Amino acid sequence: MDIFEKLRSGEAVDMRSEEYMPAIAELKRADIALFRLNHAEPYSEEQAEAFCRLFDGHVPESLSVMTPVQIDFPKQITFGKHVFINHSFTAMSIGGIEIGDHVQIGPHVTIVTDNHDLADHYILKCKTVRIGNHVWIGAGVTIMPGVTVGDHAVIAGGAAVVKDVPTNAVVGGNPAKIIKMLGNRKKGNCSE
């Protein structure tokens, strides 16, 4: 199991260890690619190349991301089809982020997958965040490690999501709570 698989599995990892060195190298690679992406002219060939470089060529064509963004471990994110991410997105993705199809993410959204041991802050403890299909995440939302957001959920602007969000739920607040449940919104309401 390589370091990234270990982090996605939730095993504790010592950031001072030799096994963590590939993560530091990837962080540096991503940081350089992010600099180029965030400083490129929007919609230019330079921006497209920087975007491809950031994700090492493994990004769906239907992904749309507005800059600036801050993504520390882009290879730890998987995207479905037709995902839109607005500006100022922050992904602390070392523990893995899975984003489904037809997801819309508002500006200033933060998704966090890592935490630290209370006794030793150099020990990482990660949990994957999973976002279902047809999810709408409002502006200024924070999603914490290990959260799963069900299909067709809506997260109201400014929410702090610390536990799973059921399918068809509208949640908001800090910590986020269910505001209401939407009717059954299966295939047909949104194009596949």
Catalytic residues: 116
Cβ-proximal residues to 127 (8 Å cutoff; 6+ apart), any chain = 10, 95, 113, 115, 145, 146
Measured CA to CA in angstroms, residue 179 lies from 105, 109, 166, 186 at distances of 19, 20, 12, 20
The CA distance from 63 to 57, in Å, is 12
Nearest to 109 by CA among 65, 139, 82: 139
Chain centroid to CA 130: how far?
8
